[in-house]
Structure 1
Amino acid sequence: MLFNLFNQPSEEIQYLGTPYTQDCLDAIGIILQTQIHIEKALLLSCNQAHAYLIKSHGNTYIIRSGFSSGYSGEGPKGLASSLQLLLKHNIEVDEINISEKLMKKINHSSLLDADIEIMLTTKVVRPTNIYEYIYAIYKTTEYQVKNDRYYPTELPYHLIDSRILDLALKFNDDPNRSIFNAFIRLENIVQNRINSDKHSSALFEYAFCSENPPLICKSEDKRASQATGRIFPNIYKAFRNEHAHNEVSKPLKTLMREFLLINELYILESEAIQRS
């Protein structure tokens, strides 16, 4: 009974990825996108199979062995890409050699806390092979610097103003409609707040940019406050009308940036002081 108790798989480990390389690359992208501080990244090598142990503040992740080396193919290419991604984020990667038994436990999600401790205290491979894995495929460490395809394509919900969170949640279904409705909703909010029947860019010109604007963007610097106020009509004129009159055909990431611009208007509006 005691033997079974102390040999239960750890409940502190989060397993990500599958035996497929792309799934493991996507998992690393999620970690890099969501974890503020990566404390340690270990490449776990067993013969020509590779997995990862990644520790962030309060979390331990295991990426299963969807990576490989020593031949040409998706496994080695994925390994090189994963290393470049981590280096792109200024994360130092060390490599350790592990047993076939440990690699099997990784892939079956059955590591013990003691197994993690063993890996964290195992002597790292020196000299390092990290760059050799990269150069074998890409001949450079710069390939991923301008490549963002492994990050999750999702809006950062924790940054979205609560008044348009519902539009953010439906964004992928119809980004054009979400953007257009966000503009319309902001118009209504500002109209009601200053009791005005103006609309479109004229409303924002009056509300934030007139001689004595009803809404003053928070700033002790008058020029900075005026410049911030001009953001409202400028963004409205730059992006709103095309969504009102046409089905805009743009990459999803471009539309996300537009939605985030509108989200910033909501935040600035909420912080604006109403002239008494």
Structure 2
Amino acid sequence: MLNLFNKPSDTIQYLGTPYTQDCIEAIAMIIQFEAQIESAIVLTYDQTHCFLVKAYRHLYLIRFGFRSDYISEGYKGLVKALNLLRRHEIEIKEVVITQKLFETINRNALTDGDIELILNNPNIRTNTIYNYINNLEVIFKEPLNIDRYYPSELPLNLIDPRILDLALKFRDDADSAIMKAYTRLEDIVRAKIDSKKFSASLMDDSFCSDLKKNKLSPFKWESENEDSSTAIGRLFVNTFKAYRNQRAHSEVDKSISQLHREFLLINELYLLESESIRR
């Protein structure tokens, strides 16, 4: 029976490695993908730190990749992790743990009883969290950059099924995926209106009305009036003028974040196209 109650918990997921960078990225991943994070507890043993993150349905233990005894990557990483959690308004507390619990965590062997003791520890504290942050920011005279730690992935649940295959190949060749997405959209729209035009001219003919010339587009959106429907159509025209045409005539050199943004912009055009209705 004693062994049964001391069995490691099945409810906790261990993330990260002894390397600080991996641990910060693990915290950023949880923030990005968990629907609701209730709290984060810094577990401290002899100026070495790990995190217990409590989400709505899961518990995560981020391993001991952080330190606070001297200015190091481990200390910088601790402050970056704290700032990530603070940015998302997640409650942060600290608990000083025993050597026995420290060794248990390093064995990935926390029990449900251990977790209960941590979450309900009467000596839990909050003021030290800000000391860790303020001490380091005073030294560096500015906050540490934390933006790059978020996972750099396309949100596949938002991608139009017609370009999901391109999203899956995005990491291997982003430029090719983007250009194929433009071309595929042109083929779809060209077939809808039986046209031989391409690029911005094709999009203008398909979605943009000109009431002064008594010209109504063959497709529109359910909106307040013709002008607002045409304004949506102009998104197609302007996107092709600003981005697609540039790619068609010259080599494009963009950062990975810019490539993500452009692919998501094209994806929005696909979603809008699927919502358009024939007159």
Pick the TM interval, shorter chain.
over 0.9
Residues 49, 69 of structure 1: 8 Å contact kept: yes
Q: Is the 8 A contact 2:45 2:99 kept in 1?
A: yes
Aligned residue type for 1:68: R
Q: In the alignment, which residue of structure 1 is the partner of 2:131?
A: 132
Cα RMSD (Å) of the superposition?
1.8
| Structure 1 runs of 4+ with >6 Å offset | none
Other-structure match for 1:161: 160
Identity of aligned residues (%): 51
Aligned partner of 2:24 in structure 1 is: 25
Instruction: Name 2:212's counterpart in structure 1.
Output: none
Aligned-pair CA distance for 1:72 = 1.2
Q: What is the CA distance between 1:17 and its match in structure 2?
A: 0.5
The one-letter code of the counterpart of 2:108 is S
Where structure 1 has 5 or more consecutive residues not aligned to the other structure, the ranges are none
Report the Cα offset of residue 258 of structure 1: 0.6
How does 1:44-59 map onto structure 2 within 5 Å?
44-59=43-58
Residues 207-226 of structure 1: pairs in structure 2 closer than 5 A = 207-210=206-209, 211-226=215-230
Deviation, structure 1 residue 137: 1.4
Q: How far apart, CA to CA, are the structure 2 residues paired with 1:205 and 1:257? A: 23
| CA separation of 1:86 and 1:127: change in aligned 2, threshold 3 A | closer
- Matched letter for residue 23 of structure 1: D
State the distance in 2 between where 1:98 and 1:190 align. Answer: 63
Deviation at 1:115, TM superposition (A): 1.1
Q: CA deviation at 1:127?
A: 6.0
- Secondary structure, aligned partner of 1:189: helix
Shift of the alpha carbon at 1:141? Answer: 10
Q: Is the 8 A contact 1:54 1:61 kept in 2?
A: yes
Tell me the SS of whatever aligns to 1:41: strand
Distance (whole Å) between structure 1 residues aligned to residue 176 and residue 264 of structure 2:
14
Q: Secondary structure at the match of 1:163?
A: helix
Distance in 1 separating the partners of 2:123 and 2:155: 36
Once residues 152 and 274 of structure 2 are traced to their aligned partners in structure 1, the CA distance between those partners, rounded to angstroms, is: 27
Query: 2:143 corresponds to which letter in structure 1?
Result: Y
Distance 2:9 2:250 in 1: 54
| Partner secondary structure for residue 136 of structure 1 | helix
Distance 1:82 1:127, change over 3 A: closer
- For residues 44-94 of structure 1, give each alpha carbon's deviation from its aligned partner in whole angstroms, at most 9, with x where no partner exists: 111211111111121111101101112111111111111111111111211
Instruction: String of CA shifts for 1:139-166, please: whole Å, max 9, x gaps.
Output: 289725x641111111111111111111
Greater CA drift, 194-203 or 88-97: 194-203
Contact 1:135–1:141 (CA<8 Å) still a contact in 2?
A: no
CA distance in 2 between partners of 1:195 and 1:20 (Å): 58
- Residue 254 of structure 2 aligns with which residue? 250
Q: CA–CA distance in 1 between the matches of 2:85 and 2:225? A: 41
Instruction: Name the counterpart of 1:273.
Output: 277
Q: CA deviation at 1:221?
A: 4.3
The one-letter code matched in structure 2 to 1:112 is: T
Q: Is 2:52–2:60's contact at 8 Å kept on the other side of the alignment?
A: yes
Distance 1:136 1:191, change over 3 A: same
Alignment partner of 2:231 out of 203, 227, 230: 227
Q: Give the 3 Å change call, closer, same or farther, for CA 5–141 of structure 1 in structure 2.
A: farther
Aligned partner of residue 63 in structure 1, secondary structure = strand
Paired letter, 1:153? S
